[in-house]
Structure 1
C-alpha cells in the first residue's frame, strides 16, 4: 500500500472518530445544556474543535512533504519555547535568548533537514549547553546563575531538542519501508495523544488513587494504567502502517506511552513550581502548545532511538 493511500486511510480514520465525537458533543450540548453554559460539555466541545484544527494542520504538513513537516515542528518548538520562557521566567539576558531562539532552534532543524545525525544528535546537549552559560558568564552577572543557566538549557532540551526527534524520524533508513517514514510520525503522535485522552477517560471513570497529588491531582494510577494499556492495544492494532509486527508495535507503544505519562508528570511539576495551570492558551480547551506536546517531547527521543537501533542497518 502506497504512502498516499496509507496516510489517507489513517487520516480518514481519525477524521471518522472526530466526526463521531463532534456528533456526541453536539447532541450532549443540545439535550443537556441547550439553555446555557455547561463547564464539562463546553470543555469537551472545545477540545474536539481543537483536535480538528490540530489534525488538519498535521495533514497539511504531511501533504507538503518532508520540509513541510520540519517547518511545522520548528514552528511548534518556537511557540513551545516561548510558552516555557513565559511560565518559567527564563533569564532576561537578551543575547542568551537570541542565541536560543535565533541560532540553536533553527540550527537544530536545519541539521535535521540535511540529515547530519552526528551533529544534530549532540548539537544542543553538548554545544548549546556549553556556549549559552559561557555567554551568560561573560555578561558578569552571577545572581542565581546556576538556576538561570539550567532553565535555559532545560527549555532548549524539551522544546527544541526532544521535539525535533519527531521530524527526524523521516531520516531513518528502514529496509522495506522506504518512502513511508511520515507514517512513523503519524503513528507516534496518534498513539501518544490517544494515551493522553484515554488516561483522562479512565481517570474520570475509575480514578481513585492520585499518582502525585501534590503535582497533578488529576493523574491517577487507574487512569495511567488504563490509558497506557488501552493506547498500547491501539498501537498494536495499527501495526499495519508501520514496519513493526503486532508484538513489536505493542512494545514500542507501551514504551512511548509510559514515557509520555512520565513526561507529563515532569512538566506538571515545572508548572506547579511556577504557579501556573497551563503553559498557554493558544489551543482552546487544551491550554498551550506545550500542554499538548509535553508527552510527545518525552516520548519522541526514546521512540526515535529504539527504531533507529533495532530497525535500521
Structure 2
C-alpha cells in the first residue's frame, strides 16, 4: 500500500475536488502543481520513513548513510561548480550546476560511499560502490529538476525568488530523488527487508 497509495490513488482522486470546485478553467496547471509537489515532497521523501519500519535493525543506519552521501554530493558539487565550473548544464535555471561539479561530486560521493558502507550497511563492496554512483547521479537530477521547477514557478518574481534562496527546498531537492531510487535498489536488488 505504501508504494501505490500516492502515485496511484492520490493521482487519480486528487483532481476530483478541483473539478467540483472550479471546473475546467486552469485545471491542468492547478492539478499538475499539486501532483508534482506531492510526488516530490511527500512520496519521494516518505521513503525515508519506510526504512525504519521495514528494518528496525538496519533502517536508521541506511537513512543516515543516504542523507550523508546526498549532502556530500550536494556540497562537493556546489564547491567545484563555484570555483572550477566552466561548462554550465542549464545556465538559465541554475548557473551553479556545472559538468565539472557533477564529475567531481560523482567521484567524491563514490569514494565516500566506499569508505562508509561497512559502518552503515550490512551489504558488500558492490553495494558500497553502487550506492555512491546511484546517489550521485540521482541527486544531480533531483537538484537540477527542482532548480528548473523553481525558476519556472518564479519567472518574473525576483523578490520571491531571492526570498527562497537557501531555504529548505534547496537542502532537500536532491533527497527527493535519492530517497526513492536508493530505497528501491536496496529493496529489490540487495534483499533488504
TM-score normalised by the chain length of structure 2: 0.89
Contact 2:51 2:63 in 1 (8 A): yes
Name 1:163's counterpart in structure 2: 45
Contact 1:279 1:289 in 2 (8 A): no
The change in CA–CA distance for 1:246 and 1:278 in structure 2 (over 3 A counts) is farther
Cα separation, 1, equivalents of 2:164 and 2:97? 20
Cα separation, 1, equivalents of 2:14 and 2:105? 39
Cα separation, 2, equivalents of 1:133 and 1:167? 26
Matched, 1:179 2:84: no
Name 2:114's counterpart in structure 1: 236
Cα separation, 2, equivalents of 1:223 and 1:217? 11
Cα separation, 2, equivalents of 1:245 and 1:156? 34
Matched, 1:292 2:178: no
Contact 1:278 1:291 in 2 (8 A): no
Aligned-partner SS, 1:309: helix
Unmatched segments (≥5 aa) in structure 1: 1-118, 282-286
Cα separation, 2, equivalents of 1:250 and 1:158? 26
Cα separation, 2, equivalents of 1:202 and 1:247? 27
Cα separation, 2, equivalents of 1:204 and 1:221? 11
**Offset at 1:141?**
2.6
**Offset at 1:212?**
1.1
**Offset at 1:260?**
0.8
Runs ≥4 residues deviating over 3 A = 276-281
1:33-72 equivalences in 2 (<5 Å): none
Aligned-partner SS, 2:87: coil
Aligned-partner SS, 1:143: coil
Matched, 1:309 2:191: no
Give the root-mean-square deviation of aligned CA atoms. Answer: 1.7
Instruction: Give 1 or 2 for the bigger CA radius of gyration.
Output: 1
Matched, 1:218 2:100: no
Cα separation, 1, equivalents of 2:122 and 2:162? 36
1:1-313 equivalences in 2 (<5 Å): 119-173=1-55, 179-240=57-118, 241-275=120-154, 277=161, 280=164, 287-312=166-191
Cα separation, 2, equivalents of 1:229 and 1:148? 40
**Offset at 1:278?**
6.2
Unmatched segments (≥5 aa) in structure 2: 155-159
TM-score normalised by the chain length of structure 1: 0.56
Query: What per-residue deviation string (whole Å, max 9, x for no partner) do you get for residues 219-244 of structure 1?
Result: 11001110121011101100112122
Cα separation, 1, equivalents of 2:29 and 2:170? 23
